[in-house]
């Protein structure tokens, strides 16, 4: 019995020692494996904790205040046409009645005063027989057109209402690349729609100098058909742009939307209210954006700016010359021509601006008084005209006439700097004002005779009828 007990005790002690050794060896091996990394110390990833992500999200902009401030001040604008008679065989056989109304187009508008002044795009209300404005509370009003600026695509409307929600103008010049913005409008007739994005670019020129359209603010906030004339606002709920255009192959949003800067829109609105038309100022230069390649070839130290091709008016009086390179205006950097034209578009005739420019590698500064730009759309002939100075007229060997600034119709594509207009209905003209007076006194439907003069001195007359 004693021998059996001794054997049992030895067996138990052996088992304990075996288990203890196994446990000790296993834990050491496991600990050794856990402390071994397959990556070198220098390449270990630096993981960001979940709490840091939460804190970063908490710092994201809050759009709720701006959205609630502005959504009630953006309206639905409807362009209504009144049927006057059949325009084609389809309308004739379908028996439409004279006086019948039809929706011609729709867009958005921005209330800018509590008594009912509204800014929208000119293309939204163009050729309208009647304009209807529907507020966010579904009340509908007839709107009166106070004035338009077709080249800037801005129109000012008025409805008979009071104590309306409105959006105050902000400073589009102080808006920076990367700033958060909201686009408020009525895309696809979906009223009161708000989308968010950032300012993707400023000074975007979509016209390449063809018109005096101001340079645009570009945004990636979703803008679609129906947003035209709506608001682009900052996170304070201030108006910094009027949504105007998109670039798309499909006709719908693909990431690129464009707005007329609020500083330009505000100046147009103030001009229409005070003068009844837009008071356009000019610096008195023609030029183009400096080509970096040309700058390199010419060994210029400057790679951005506006190259002056010719001078007149205030610029000529101040001493600017052909070949000068403008880099700043009133301490605002000028990188391209659209920067310059956009800034001038916020000014009025007789305002003074300070221009920084380089000549022969030396920087100079001049103060220039802006002059009034007078133009007239001689639509019947398909051209826009401006005043011509004596030097320009001398190239045509004449002392009278007006200059053709651009063509309005592809059907009459006359070379701009090779012809001038010297007579209207046989009467010599010396200014835009004289042409406007002749045309204003003509009866509707009458024929207009326009005389063109070429650089070689030959004159030809053409008859046009509305």
Radius of gyration (Cα) for the chain, nearest Å? 35
- Strand, coil or helix: 74: strand
Answer for the pair 240, 233: CB distance below 8 angstroms, yes or no.
yes
Q: Residues 6 or more apart from 56 whose CB is under 8 A from it?
A: none
**Pick from 214, 202, 204: nearest CA to 178:** 202
What is the bridge-based pairing of β-strands 257-261 and 154-158?
unpaired
From CA 6, how far away is CA 443, in angstroms rounded?
A: 137
- Which residue out of 72, 123, 192, 351 is catalytically annotated? 123
Tell me the backbone φ, ψ of residue 38, rounded to 5 degrees.
-85, -10
- Which residue out of 76, 149, 153, 338 is catalytically annotated? 153
From CA 191, how far away is CA 71, in angstroms rounded?
A: 9
Enclosing H/E stretch for 41: none
- Which residue out of 215, 228, 262, 338 is catalytically annotated? 228
Q: How many helices (H) and strands (E) does the chain have?
A: 11, 28
**Pick from 351, 331, 329: nearest CA to 340:** 329
Asked if 6 is an active-site residue, the reply is no
Residue 141, strand partner residues: 133
Answer for the pair 432, 374: CB distance below 8 angstroms, yes or no.
yes
Asked if 123 is an active-site residue, the reply is yes
Asked if 153 is an active-site residue, the reply is yes
Q: Which two tokens stand for residue 364?
A: 């100079």
From CA 178, how far away is CA 181, in angstroms rounded?
A: 9
Map 133-188 to HEC letters.
EECCCCCEEECEEEEEECCCCEEEEECCCCCCCCCCECCCCCCCCCCEEEEEECHH
- Strand, coil or helix: 65: helix
Instruction: Classify residue 368 by its DSSP letter.
Output: E
Active site residues: 123, 153, 228
């Amino acid at each position: 019995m004693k021998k059996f007990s001794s054997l049992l005790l030895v067996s138990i002690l052996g088992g304990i020692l075996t288990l203890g050794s196994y446990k000790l060896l296993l834990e050491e091996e496991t600990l050794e494996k856990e402390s071994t990394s397959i990556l070198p110390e220098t390449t270990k990833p630096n993981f960001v904790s979940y709490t840091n992500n939460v804190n970063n999200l908490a710092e994201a902009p809050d759009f709720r205040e701006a959205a609630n401030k502005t959504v009630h001040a953006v309206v639905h604008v409807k362009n209504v046409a009144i049927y006057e008679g059949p325009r084609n065989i389809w309308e004739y056989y379908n028996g439409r009645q004279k006086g019948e109304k039809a929706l011609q187009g729709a867009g958005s508008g921005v209330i800018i005063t509590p008594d009912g002044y509204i800014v929208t795009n000119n293309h939204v209300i163009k050729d309208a027989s009647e304009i209807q404005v529907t507020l966010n509370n579904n009340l509908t009003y007839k709107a009166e057109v106070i004035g338009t600026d077709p080249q800037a695509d801005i129109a000012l409307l008025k409805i008979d209402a009071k104590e309306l929600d409105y959006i105050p103008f902000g400073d589009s010049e102080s808006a920076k690349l990367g700033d958060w913005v909201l686009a408020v409008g009525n895309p696809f007739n979906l009223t009161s729609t708000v989308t968010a994005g950032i300012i993707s670019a400023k000074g975007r020129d979509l016209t390449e100098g063809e018109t005096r359209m101001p340079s645009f603010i570009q945004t990636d906030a979703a803008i679609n058909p129906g947003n035209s004339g709506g608001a682009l606002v900052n996170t304070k709920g201030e108006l910094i742009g009027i949504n105007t255009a998109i670039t798309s192959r499909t006709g719908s949003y693909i990431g690129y939307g464009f707005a007329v800067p609020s500083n330009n829109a505000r100046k147009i609105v103030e001009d229409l209210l005070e003068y009844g038309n837009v008071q356009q100022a000019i610096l008195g230069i023609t030029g183009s954006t400096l080509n970096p390649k040309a700058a390199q070839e010419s060994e210029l130290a400057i790679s951005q700016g506006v190259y002056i091709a010719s001078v007149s008016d205030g610029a000529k009086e101040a001493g600017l010359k052909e070949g000068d390179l403008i880099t700043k205006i009133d301490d605002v950097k000028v990188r391209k021509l659209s920067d310059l034209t956009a800034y001038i578009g916020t000014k009025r005739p007789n305002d003074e601006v300070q221009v920084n420019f380089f000549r022969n590698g030396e920087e100079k500064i001049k103060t220039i008084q802006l002059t009034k730009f007078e133009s007239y759309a001689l639509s019947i002939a398909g051209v826009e005209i401006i005043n011509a100075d004596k030097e320009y007229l001398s190239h045509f060997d004449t002392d009278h006439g007006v200059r053709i600034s651009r063509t309005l119709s592809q059907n009459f594509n006359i070379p701009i700097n090779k012809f001038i207009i010297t007579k209207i209905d046989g009467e010599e003209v010396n200014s835009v004002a004289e042409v406007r007076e002749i045309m204003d006194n003509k009866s509707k439907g009458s024929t207009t005779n326009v005389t063109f003069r070429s650089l070689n001195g030959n004159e030809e007359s053409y008859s046009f009828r509305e």
